[in-house]
Amino acid sequence: MRAMLLRSPRPVEETPLSLAELPDPKPGPGQVLIRVSVCGLCHTDLHTVEGELPPHKQPLIPGHQVVGTVQAAGDGVSNLAVGDRVGVPWLHQTCGVCEYCLSGRENLCERALFTGLDVDGGYAELMVAPEAYCYRLPDGYPDVAVAPLLCAGIIGYRALRLSEVKPGQALGLYGFGASAHIALQVARYWGCRCYVFTRSQNHRTLAQELGAVWTGAVEDAPPEPLHSAISFAPAGRLVPLALRALRPGGTLALASIYMDPIPSLDYTADLYRERTLRSVTAATRQDARELLALAPRVPIQTQVQVYPLTEANAALSDLKHSRLRAAGVLQVAQ
């Protein structure tokens, strides 16, 4: 099979991914072999490729928003069959027996494995994944359109829940890429008033097209105090700004796996009056099931820019420098 392989992390401008011919993987017990059609791009891929989030194996095939077709099944597979269209997300597998797994918080499992970090991902023509962590995908979505739902969508949905925003309330979104453009659509479906903070005029235009009631720079004050906010940008300097835009009792959720250092917070100005600051860590299978069921009802429309598999370095560079309008997707199948 062909794959874009990471041998040593370095800046994307130095082309860390190279095209390789590798042996076809084989599914083990409980696993399926997937012929990959497309794989979405994620900031986590960028952080892994550049070494800010060191890969847990080398060489590594990145990618964790995978759409493909089941080609073969290992022993014990019972719910998926050859020919089924499936999606593979970030969460590859958990232990299933720790206190977090048993309490519905498998995203916090200390023995969790992640696609494209601990195991090879979807920047390849073939991959294997546990049947229990794959998802049938909603009808009506072409492969390139459904791929961003598998991480950007799932994480955006979990971030919305952890922000504790309620229908009809004011929500702030800091940074506006793949995840935020999906979260905005869900929040609008819930009747929320959405305020988008981004430096990109293209992103502001898209946010307005999707129903944001206001857009501005991250330093700007919104027209009203926010009930909740989500920061999708890995920029720690945004945290005090977002906290100060909250109403008393408001919650700021941080939806980045990696973040620059957060400046010192002023307790009185930033946190007092029961403002809450919380992180978003991965997602659970229940998050994925709920988001994929919700997507056709909204209906969520993803904005995608498609690249050939061999242009993965250039695609990640465009992601890094905010040249994507929303989401990027690698076209793997020829």
Q: What is the CATH number of the domain that holds 212?
A: 3.40.50.720
Per-residue pLDDT, 19: 98
Give the pLDDT confidence of 111-162 residue by residue, as tens digits. 999 999 999 999 999 999 999 999 999 999 999 999 999 999 999 999 999 9
**Do 63 and 144 belong together in one domain?**
yes
The CB-side HSE value for 174 (13 A sphere, CA atoms) comes to 31
**Do 24 and 138 belong together in one domain?**
yes
**Do 146 and 158 belong together in one domain?**
no
**Do 57 and 131 belong together in one domain?**
yes
Give the pLDDT confidence of 245-274 residue by residue, as tens digits. 999 999 999 999 989 999 999 999 999 999
Domain of 115 in residue numbering reads as 2-150+284-331
Per-residue pLDDT, 228: 98
Tokens coding 214: 């206001």
What is the three-class DSSP state of 4?
A: strand
Per-residue pLDDT, 334: 77
**Do 164 and 266 belong together in one domain?**
yes
**Do 139 and 69 belong together in one domain?**
yes
**Do 289 and 256 belong together in one domain?**
no
**Do 76 and 179 belong together in one domain?**
no
Please, where are the H alpha helices in 175-311? 178-189, 201-209, 238-244, 285-294
Give the pLDDT confidence of 19-31 residue by residue, as tens digits. 999 999 999 999 9
Low-confidence ranges of the chain (pLDDT < 70): none
CB atoms within 10 A of CB 279: 12
| E strand residue ranges, the chain | 2-6, 17-21, 31-40, 66-73, 85-88, 91-93, 113-114, 126-130, 135-136, 170-174, 193-197, 214-216, 226-231, 246-254, 276-279, 304-308, 327-331
**Do 139 and 161 belong together in one domain?**
no
**Do 210 and 272 belong together in one domain?**
yes
CATH of the domain at 137: 3.90.180.10
Q: How many domains does the chain have?
A: 2
Please, where are the H alpha helices in the chain? 43-50, 99-102, 143-146, 152-163, 178-189, 201-209, 238-244, 285-294, 312-320
**Do 76 and 198 belong together in one domain?**
no
Q: What is the dihedral of CA 330, 148, 79, 117, to 10 degrees?
A: 70
Averaged pLDDT score across all residues of the chain: 97
**Do 325 and 177 belong together in one domain?**
no
